[in-house]
Chains A and B, each alone.
Chain A
Amino acid sequence: MTSAHDTDINHAFKVQDLTKTYGEGHSAVHALRGADLEIGDGEIVVLLGPSGSGKSTLLNILGGLDRASSGTVQFRDQILTDLDDRGLTNYRRRHVGFVFQFYNLMPSLTARENVELVTEISENPITAEHALELVGLTKRIDHFPAQLSGGEQQRVAIARAVAKQPDVLFCDEPTGALDSATGRAVLRVIQDVNEALGTTVLLITHAAATAAMADRVIHFADGQIQKVELNKNRVSAEEIHW
């Protein structure tokens, strides 16, 4: 299925006939059954769909965390599906930021150090202080994860993801573990980053309302893209309710 898209935008990703199968024979699970997709640079893309519909699989492959069984993924001029492990590591290191449902902060590092963990290996990072300022955590900069609330931890995770000024930000259920007010604050930060740095954002969520902040909404079911919607009237994160 080919998505509708504007022809005048630069493409961050071009996905062709992408499949992913886990296991073999009778026990094979087809997580992706031939996805075709194009994502523009600087877009916010929301992926919706029930559990097991293939959205996380797609996100993992686009993020260089997993390999496709067949098909191609092109990131700008680079064919990701041709890269070996080292190539994928470099891709993640240079271009990609991740935010996860469970934050995945290093418990042994403070908020600042968690961010510096990434800035130390990046080519063109902003400072950790700046990144934490972006997410409104200047006052908690020297706190360890155990001393932060869930929302604060997620904001540190976002600061860590954006500090390298990534080309793409992948967010897998970033608000899944948060109450709605905190969730909105987190979405606001993601939106700010998209606007301030021009970062392409791919966001997986169960909360359909989140789709309102996206440029493009992709609906998944049964390992396939059911539908792609373009959203001409993005709303700000504060206006979203779930």
Chain B
Amino acid sequence: MTPLHAKLMRDLWRIKAQAAAIMVVIAIGVGLQIMMSGFVSSLTLTRDAYYERHQLADIFAPVVRAPNYVESRLADIPGIRTVETRLNSMASAKVDTREFSISMQVLSLPLHGRRHLNEVRLTQGRMPDAQRPDEILLLESFATAHGILPGAQLEVTLHGVRRWYSVVGTAQSPEFIYFAAPGEFIPDDARFGVIWMGRPALAAALDLEGAFNEALVSLLRGANKDAVLDQIDQVLDPFGAPGSYGLEDFASDRFLSEEISGLEVTSSTVPPVFMMVAAFLLYIVTSRMITAEREEIGLVRAFGYSKREVAAHYLELALFIAVTGAALGCLLGVLLGRAMVPVYTTYYKLPFLLFRLEFASFASGLLLSIAVATLGGVWALRGIFRLTPAQAMRPPTPPDFSHSISFKKGVFARLDQPTRMVLRRLMRQPWRMLGAVIGIASGMALSLAMLIIYDGFDVAIDRTFNVVDRSDATVSFVQNVPSRTIYDLSGMEGISQAEPVRFVPVVFRNGLRSYKGSITGLTPDPVLHRALDKDLRPIALPERGIVLSTPLADVLDVGVGDTLMLEIREGRQQTVVTQVAGIAESLLGAPAYMDLDALGRQIGEPNRFSAAYISMRDGSQSEVYADLKDMPAVAGISLRSEAEEAFQRVMDEGAGSARFIMGVMAFAITFGIVYNVARVAQDESARDLASLRVLGFRHSEAAFVLLGELAVVVLVALPLGLWMGTGLSHLIAQGFSTDLYQVPVVFAPKAYGSSISVVVCAAGVSGWLVQRKIRSTDITLALKTRE
């Protein structure tokens, strides 16, 4: 070991606590990068492989009923590689563990031996026998949630007919990676399931023999998707088609893709903040060391060491810290990644998910750390090489404060001397202080923004489930029902109120912008489910015109008074022009509202309803269930409280760990900065502090001079952090809000409080450590050492 290396090792040992704090900041930055980019690639690769292996369709084309021969007309459309048709219906199933039936989607399986689209992945048991109409395959997550094994019997009501089916196997499908009960957004394995059965049996049950009600299409490479979608719509229009759509509009794929792109954005924005903070810390630590060793540097240069050798020595120190931090970060990233796999597989039903350590992200993390260390080190070394060895060996002159402010006038004249020392030191090193302020504020902003977003989710849940929707349950019908059915519901003993609703699939168009969605027809002055404006006041639905939710108005780029084209995909399938009469707030989905009667007239089907919102009298749930069971028109019932609970569960699990991680991150950054700035300031002012002690200042009074500086830095950083965090939360909310869900930014006192306490706490801990160090310093030694 060369003498310089021995010195390096001893220097590292001496600054071990500071070095450790910097390593932690780097480790978190690199760890997050590795974890997130690892998931981006793991999720992308798994998804793509799953889609490819199981031939997930590129286009889904639902239709009311099209004869089988239409399939060949679809196949003739240029750009299409494969067309396959199937039957797709809703049903309900009864399981022992629940009082009321559960909504199920039923899909037909093609005949055996034929290569087909949307192939299922058998996880248990066997495929149903085409000759056995009672054999079904069940979605694995649903089967697991209810403990149903192959061999069990399941009571299913299909097209109004109740019968028992034998479960012969369980399966996963690339169609159902992320899925929720109809009208909901959060997965709840127990409340939504999928049944696959042989096509002949399903066709018989649905009265769709010789016909299909959904076409799946895969495209040739390079095909023009929009043109194909148009042509498919043209072919299927006469058979009652609500409009075909691509995989990108398919909910499961949308959610997964949004997750991946969200991770991509976060992985490219959050880790660099940590690395910038680390570069700043390495700079102040290295530059402090270089300043303190200025005479030694002059000496070794006088001995004949080159600038490069001296520079290499200090760079090695910075690099050692950075590379060790990066290695720890790699380990942290892999551990975090592995720990997150079960979280992902709970919500995303992938056949497998292996966390991959991306070599590229490891390499980029390492390179970034090296760059950070070099940047910090070289910046610190500049000053030394401007001096000749002879100049460097002479002690530096005392720092010049003569350009500092004079404090002679006004309130300044009343400041005591220790306060003046604090203020002048702050002003003498504005860039270092600014760096510290910005660093602390960034760490705080990161955590605060996420906390605000999570508070926003809480508000979204409350608004969606308690303000917009005040019903106890939604009763959905097998087919649209007349007013009489609603009267029947209202007349039930346990139901205090029933409000009909009509959902009509529609394509909204404004010029080149379009959106496939649906119109919700509500009764005048509804009580249970309302359209609300931005101040949460109910909007009276006009007799003419349509009320759009904010995200829908944004997608279509329209405002109140603008006209809009509606391609109604039901009934007479007409196209109408209407005016935007109002804008409603919505946090889930992108609904549009119309007056129920006006909507009925528009589609030529007055007084027909798709569902009803009901409120139940206290304790009458079982009674209502029993009554509804006897109504053949009822397809299912969805309890608002269950949907809210599912949402809340996800938030609690996700938010709980996110709050913890964000807290740790903000703490690490603040601690790293405050501790390092304090230690460096302590080194620099060791003589001053000892002099103060000699002059009769108490520990606390001497510590004030040092810690007062840091208190100012933290106090300035707090409001800046609050401001940056709030701003960042708006950016994140904008980035995350889609037509699927909107993230509101709310005033979140709790989030502000927590982030402030984390920063203050971290500052307090580092302040305490530093003042302990001051206490243990021998004051007579400090007076003798000379810089």
Residues on A lying within 8 angstroms of B by beta carbon are: 56, 60, 63, 65-66, 85-86, 89-90, 92-94, 96, 98, 100, 102, 104-110, 113-114, 116-118, 120-121, 142-147, 160
Contacts and interface: CB of A to CB of B under 8 A. Distances in A.
A107 B398 contact: yes
Interface of B: 397-402, 404, 406-407, 416-418, 420-421, 424-425, 428, 687-688, 690-699, 701, 779-780, 783, 786
Contacts of B425: 108
B417 A93 contact: no
A98 B780 contact: no
A217 to B, nearest CB: 23
A113 B695 contact: no
B688 A106 contact: yes
B416 A120 contact: yes
Given A104-B687, A108-B424, A117 B695 contact: yes
Contacts of B420: 108-109, 113
B784 to A, nearest CB: 8
Nearest to A59: B780
B696 A94 contact: yes
A51 B632 CA distance: 108
12 contacts: A92-B694, A92-B696, A93-B696, A98-B694, A100-B783, A102-B786, A107-B399, A107-B401, A109-B401, A109-B424, A113-B420, A144-B400
- List of 4 A-B pairs having minimum Cβ-Cβ separation, nearest first: A93-B696, A146-B400, A108-B424, A117-B417
B694 A143 contact: no
Contacts of B692: 117
A117 B418 CA distance: 7
Contact of B696 (A56, A113, A121): A121
A63 B780 CA distance: 11
B693 A89 contact: yes
Nearest to A95: B696
A108 B404 contact: yes
Contacts of A66: 780
Given A104-B783, A108-B404, A113-B417, A86 B694 contact: no
A89 B696 contact: yes
Contact of A106 (B691, B694, B699): B691
A93 B699 CA distance: 12
A144 B401 contact: yes
Given A106-B421, A113-B417, A146-B398, A60 B780 contact: yes
B385 to A, nearest CB: 24
Contact of B406 (A65, A86, A116, A142): A142
Contact of A92 (B400, B421, B695, B786): B695
B401 A104 contact: no
B116 to A, nearest CB: 81
Contacts of B421: 106, 108-109
A212 to B, nearest CB: 27
A27 B782 CA distance: 22
A95 to B, nearest CB: 9
A175 B731 CA distance: 64
B635 to A, nearest CB: 79
Contacts of A98: 694-695
B398 A145 contact: yes
Given A98-B694, A120-B416, A65 B779 contact: yes
B404 A121 contact: no
A136 to B, nearest CB: 21
A86 B698 contact: yes
